[in-house]
Amino acid sequence: MQTTDTTSFLAPGPVKVNWEFLEAWIDPMQSPPYLLLLLGDSTNGCYVFDPAESYGLVKAFQRYEDAQLWLLEDEYEPLNGRLSSSEVH
What pLDDT, on a 0 to 100 scale, did the predictor assign at position 46?
A: 96
Within a domain: residue 9? no
pTM of the model: 0.79
What is the span of the domain harbouring residue 36? 16-79
Within a domain: residue 11? no
CA dihedral sign of residues 33, 54, 74, 25:
positive
Q: How far is CA 26 from CA 8, 22, 74, in A?
A: 23, 13, 10
Tell me if the bond preceding 32 is cis, omega within 30° of 0: yes
Within a domain: residue 48? yes
pLDDT in tens, 14-70: 456 688 999 999 999 999 999 999 999 989 899 999 999 999 999 999 999 999 999
Count of the separate structural domains present in the chain: 1
